[in-house]
Amino acid sequence: MRFLWKLLAEKNLALLPPQNLGKKETPINVINAETETSRKRFPVDTLKNDPYILRYKALNEKLSLFELGYTLYHIANHRGTASIRSFLEDDEAKRKENTKTAKRVKEIKKIINSKKYRTFGEYLYKEKIQKFKQNERKKVTNRETAHNNNKEFAVTRDIILEEVEKILSIQKEYYKDILNDDYIEKIKNAISYETEKLIPEPENCPYFKNEKKLPRSHKLNEYRRIYEALNNARYSIPVSNNTGEILSYEKKELSKEQKEILFKFLLENKNLTQDEAKQKLNLPDDSEVYLQGRDKKNQKIKGYALINLEKMSFWSRLSQNQQDEFLYDWNSLPDEKLKDKLKNYYKLVDNEINETFQEIVLSAGYADVGKSAMEILLNYIKNGSSYPEALDKSITEGKFKICKKAINDLLPYYGKILRESTQPIIGKPFSKQFINRNYKKPNTNKDEEVFGKIANPVVHQTLNELRKIINEIIFIFGRKPLEIGLETARELKKSRKDRENIIKQQEENEKNKNKIYEKYIEPNLRQINKRQEDPKKYILKFKLCEEQNFICPFCLKKINCDDVINSHVDIEHIFPIEESEDNSKNNLCIAHNKCNADKAKKSPFDAFGHKTEGKYIWNNILANAKEKLPHKAWRFYQDSFENFLEKKPMPKRFETDNSYISKISTKYLACLFDKPSKVFCVKPSLTAQLRIAWELNEIMKSILKSEDLKDYENKKTRIDNRHHALDAIVIAYANRGYHNFLNRIHAKGYKINYDYNKKNWLSKILLPPENIKLEDFKSNLKEAVLNANVNVKHDHNINGQLVKDTAYTLYPGIKENEYIITTLKPISEIKFKKKEKPQDTLKKTLCRFKESLSLVKNQNLRKKLEYNIDLYKKILNKDNLSKAKKELEKSNLKAKDEGKKSQEITDILIYKKACDIIGKKYIQVENRNQDKFFTLKKPIETETGFGYDTGDNLSLDLYHDKMGKLCGEIIRKIDFNKNEPPNYKKEGYVLLERIYQGDTLETDISKDKNSLRSKISSAPNNRTFVKVLTFTEVGDYFKDKKDDIQIYIGNLLKSKYNQDDSFRISSMQKFNIRKVTLTPLGFIKYRSRILKNKEK
């Protein structure tokens, strides 16, 4: 629209835009509504006109230039949809909307032609506007809102462009000098302009390289889909005795003749149901048919998708090649280009084009193979083979030519081996569609550009790291390993009973889903669709409501259907998702929005366990959980959250990633060997049993320091990165004999105890390999683990989020170069420390600016600070503290009567209770350095500003100043992406060393800091490695003390960090710090000079 504004302003059809229009002054997309409206583009007198009336007047009389510009600008703002083509993959609402739009356009065109209206604008004026008084008519809009579900004014773009052409041709008679042909063409192009969408191109068939992969909508792929569905179909007929009593049912596959009968039916009909299948195959009434779908009542096979297309009059006029080409075009061309090709190449008339867009719904995307390959595969599938079986037979019988598998000496980039699993890089710079548009290619790995990459970033990164470490092992040892063991995430073989239970549960779940949909969602479907929401998202909400008997688990008040539909309630994680990472249904409940807000990011007990009166009464909450949610009630108990965190299960998303990584890694590593079996897979259940039997958890505990073990007595010792080395050793020893034995006993239904702290009956059988004595075996393993090298992946990525999401209101700081920011928080979230008096904690939190209140000039900020001070006085009021103590004592007496554990009443507990009694929110007030903010509007004494926290630091650049002193400057991602030199370079200083977050530093071993005490095997003598966690400016940095930057570190052995230790640039020099880069196996690849002041 800005380009059109400039274009109209060139000939005085609009006001001149400001000189800086279009300049990107900031990387943040901040929209100022005042500058994005027609008020800035046309005179006030012009805007008093109704644009719909102007569109009619333009056909009959001369408009002023501003009126003409306003008319064109309005038309451009309501230019209609460019796309009404539907695909089977679209959701139902979109397909229905496209169909409605196409029918509406057809009806409008019919009226326009029959009444000889010249344009759509004239149709609107005569049929809609003229019938109402101007001040009574409905607002004309093509946008659906909560108050308007009428889209009668929404049409397709071709009708709008015809109107533009008509108006300009008539107004040209009045402005011949201005509206020349070239200018008219520019206006039409500006109104019709749409950014061309990137459409993925079909790849080549892997077996016939000169062919493209078939569109999924092609009839051969449809035949394949239908035959595969028929191959999977089954029917059962009753087996009776002589008296006619049914003894059992015999399940059968369809015969070739039966499949052909049903295939012909599906070619002519939309769907095949169970009843229709029984009828067509003349099966007895008491027989059962099994088609696709878990819910037996709704099982069906979808019919031939090209029925409507093949019935159209133009289809038979096209040759076979043209029909194939049509399907490629339907997949890949934008609507306008497709319409043009349908008319000029396929020779369709306008009615046929409109009917095609209105009636045709096809599959999008492409099949796995091309036409020739699909014809070969189809012959096997017709005879009962599955797709993978047909593929194997085609290769075995020589019908598909595949390149002979090369045995590699080193692992190449994974995309070269796993071509079928990668996707090409999608982007305009990489597409042939935009080859001559001069799009600049981003910094992309050449291998990824040639071979593509796996879309899952976790898998992509894992395979790349796997390549580096395997190749380094081969380089060091001078040859490939004889075999490679991988730990998989697959489950053990299930017994028949287990499999039957799973199928039964799946059918039951499907049945419940349909029941919930019919009972609660269907009656409210119109309201849901009006908000353009997915109805399926309400299924889980109503499931939880039924489970809870429509009672909120916190306030215990009723939840009704309207509460769910109108979002007055929402799903809540019982244990906070950030810490528990548990998104399973067992950790979900549904509660009122206010209750969720009051619970905040706490467990139920932490949020409400001390409440004895008012809205939340803990004893009632717990009693309700036991009664209504017995399988979740344990999550409401005291200490349950802490116990859960001690033995936290692996999140499901990681299980999914791990499962795929295991499978794809096996295929990838096989390229090193002549036989795929040389890469063997070990299941986690086996390694778990071997760790128990061989007492390997004791090894990790024996090498950890006593202080590290204090908080980890009842946990798996995963706090030290060397536990990965121990896992690798177990996998190396876990041969197929152990695996087959464990799989057999599991399949037979033997119960196995997986308590990591207890041996079980299996431990006596799973002895160490080659009959080595257990103590000797453990001793050897301990030595190996102690000497294990450690390395962590470095991330020097300059991309990513430049600023944090939250926009802050900024107040002028009391000190120079500072802002003050405020955040409203529940008073219950104030954290009291054991080593600090609770009144001191409150004073620091609520009275932070009390002494300097007179210096605060902004009245709004001053009121907030005074509010906090007043809150502090209310909490510390003697009566309030006395009431808090009495309530705690009362609660203890009640707990004692109920046989429950009482709480020790400490000062911290009394102050917490005193805060709860006040029950208000406080205003968190913080000082922030201006350099750490991306400021969009600077605050002044009378006005607030706003801005964003600059997010992640990128690096710390170290340099020597003119005195030879070691100094630093933190480079943030947002500053780096401005492509401006850092301040120290502007002053003429030179980069000494750049340290990124996550980099490794080599340092002297020292007792001064915990992170510097533990030696790492590959570090030089009396030296160790630490990981840089983050860094920040402190103290007087912004007063030209450029070595006042704090660097937070953690020893490389640790697997979890919490800013354990730190030093400043000025103080780190006594540890003789060097930056190092380690290889994947932990050897030093690069070692900087010692980072210290220049010697004089």
Mean pLDDT value of segment 767-794? 84
User: Is the pLDDT assigned to residue 32 strictly greater than 70?
Assistant: no
Mean pLDDT value of segment 74-83? 77
Stretch among 160-174, 694-708, 790-804 having the lowest mean pLDDT: 790-804
**pLDDT confidence of residue 1032:** 85
Q: Return d(Cα 752, Cα 755) in angstroms, integer.
A: 9
User: Is the pLDDT assigned to residue 496 strictly greater than 90?
Assistant: no
The residue that leads in pLDDT, 435 or 881, is 881
CA–chain centroid gap for 1047, Å, is 32
Q: Return d(Cα 679, Cα 720) in angstroms, integer.
A: 28
Q: Return d(Cα 492, Cα 483) in angstroms, integer.
A: 23
Stretch among 432-446, 921-935, 956-970 having the lowest mean pLDDT: 432-446
Q: With cut-offs at 50, 70 and 90, classify the pLDDT of residue 26.
A: very low
Q: Is the Cβ–Cβ distance between 331 and 215 less than 8 Å?
A: yes
**pLDDT confidence of residue 693:** 82
Question: 710 CB contacts (<8 Å, ≥6 apart)?
Answer: none
User: Is the pLDDT assigned to residue 650 strictly greater than 50?
Assistant: no
What the block records as the tokens of 366 is 């492409």
Question: 1022 CB contacts (<8 Å, ≥6 apart)?
Answer: 1004, 1005
Q: Return d(Cα 831, Cα 552) in angstroms, integer.
A: 28
**pLDDT confidence of residue 143:** 43
Q: Which of 145, 141, 93, 149 is nearest to 533 (CA)?
A: 93
The residue that leads in pLDDT, 22 or 461, is 461
Mean pLDDT value of segment 944-972? 84
> Percentage of residues in the chain with pLDDT exceeding 90?
29
- Extract the runs of DSSP E, i.e. beta strands, from 904-1039: 921-929, 933-937, 945-949, 953-960, 966-972, 991-996, 1000-1004, 1023-1033
The three-class DSSP label of residue 668 is: helix
User: Is the pLDDT assigned to residue 294 strictly greater than 60?
Assistant: no
Mean pLDDT value of segment 128-147? 49
The three-class DSSP label of residue 868 is: helix
Q: With cut-offs at 50, 70 and 90, classify the pLDDT of residue 638.
A: confident
**pLDDT confidence of residue 491:** 45
Stretch among 566-570, 892-896, 955-959 having the lowest mean pLDDT: 892-896
Stretch among 295-299, 318-322, 349-353, 601-605 having the lowest mean pLDDT: 295-299
| Residue 573 appears among annotated catalytic residues | yes
Mean pLDDT value of segment 333-361? 85
What the block records as the tokens of 45 is 């007198």
Q: With cut-offs at 50, 70 and 90, classify the pLDDT of residue 1.
A: low
**pLDDT confidence of residue 24:** 42
User: Is the pLDDT assigned to residue 107 strictly greater than 70?
Assistant: yes
**Domain boundaries along the sequence of the chain:** 2-192, 219-373, 536-646, 683-786, 807-942, 951-1087
User: Is the pLDDT assigned to residue 235 strictly greater than 60?
Assistant: yes
Name the pTM for this structure: 0.61
Count of residues in the chain? 1096
Question: 1084 CB contacts (<8 Å, ≥6 apart)?
Answer: 1002, 1018, 1076, 1077, 1078
Q: Is the Cβ–Cβ distance between 681 and 696 less than 8 Å?
A: no
**pLDDT confidence of residue 537:** 82
Q: Is the Cβ–Cβ distance between 512 and 553 less than 8 Å?
A: no
**pLDDT confidence of residue 341:** 92
Q: With cut-offs at 50, 70 and 90, classify the pLDDT of residue 796.
A: low
**pLDDT confidence of residue 161:** 87
Question: 620 CB contacts (<8 Å, ≥6 apart)?
Answer: 556
User: Is the pLDDT assigned to residue 27 strictly greater than 50?
Assistant: no
User: Is the pLDDT assigned to residue 657 strictly greater than 70?
Assistant: no
Q: What is the pLDDT of residues 809-824, one digit of tens each?
A: 888 888 777 888 888 8
Catalytic-role residue among 74, 218, 573, 723: 573
Q: Which of 951, 1023, 1028 is nearest to 994 (CA)?
A: 1028
What the block records as the tokens of 544 is 């939880």
Q: What is the pLDDT of residues 1025-1042, one digit of tens each?
A: 999 988 888 877 777 888
Question: If you write DSSP's letter for every residue of 1077-1091 in order, what string do you get?
Answer: EE-TTS-EEEEPPP-
> Percentage of residues in the chain with pLDDT exceeding 70?
84
Distances (CA, A) of 835 to 58, 707, 908, 1058, 1062: 80, 19, 10, 19, 21
Torsion, Cα of 853, 859, 862, 866 (10° steps): 120
For residue 325, count CB atoms less than 10 angstroms from its CB and return exposed for 0-12, middle for 13-18, buried for 19 or more: middle
Mean pLDDT value of segment 787-800? 73
Unique residue bearing structure tokens 């600077």 = 938
Q: With cut-offs at 50, 70 and 90, classify the pLDDT of residue 765.
A: confident
**pLDDT confidence of residue 131:** 62
**pLDDT confidence of residue 798:** 60
**pLDDT confidence of residue 828:** 79
Distances (CA, A) of 392 to 224, 279, 396, 883, 941: 16, 36, 6, 79, 77
Q: Which of 205, 179, 674 is nearest to 404 (CA)?
A: 674
Mean pLDDT value of segment 531-557? 88
**pLDDT confidence of residue 423:** 80
User: Is the pLDDT assigned to residue 769 strictly greater than 90?
Assistant: no
Q: What is the pLDDT of residues 45-75, one digit of tens each?
A: 898 898 989 999 999 999 999 999 999 998 8
User: Is the pLDDT assigned to residue 756 strictly greater than 60?
Assistant: no
DSSP letter at 500? H
DSSP letter at 298? G
**pLDDT confidence of residue 819:** 84
Find the largest Cα–Cα distance for the chain: 111
Question: 654 CB contacts (<8 Å, ≥6 apart)?
Answer: none
Stretch among 83-87, 513-517, 609-613, 1048-1052 having the lowest mean pLDDT: 83-87
Q: What is the pLDDT of residues 160-200, one digit of tens each?
A: 889 999 999 999 999 999 999 999 999 988 888 777 666 77
- Ranked by mean pLDDT, which of 443-452, 828-837, 1085-1094 comes out on top? 1085-1094
**pLDDT confidence of residue 466:** 92
**pLDDT confidence of residue 826:** 84
**pLDDT confidence of residue 952:** 60
**pLDDT confidence of residue 726:** 82
The residue that leads in pLDDT, 295 or 522, is 522
Mean pLDDT value of segment 270-284? 88
For residue 607, count CB atoms less than 10 angstroms from its CB and return exposed for 0-12, middle for 13-18, buried for 19 or more: buried
Q: Return d(Cα 964, Cα 947) in angstroms, integer.
A: 37
Q: Which of 605, 615, 653 is nearest to 489 (CA)?
A: 653
Distances (CA, A) of 962 to 951, 965, 971, 984: 31, 7, 21, 11
Start-to-end CA span in the chain (Å): 64
Mean pLDDT value of segment 659-687? 84
Q: Return d(Cα 769, Cα 783) in angstroms, integer.
A: 18
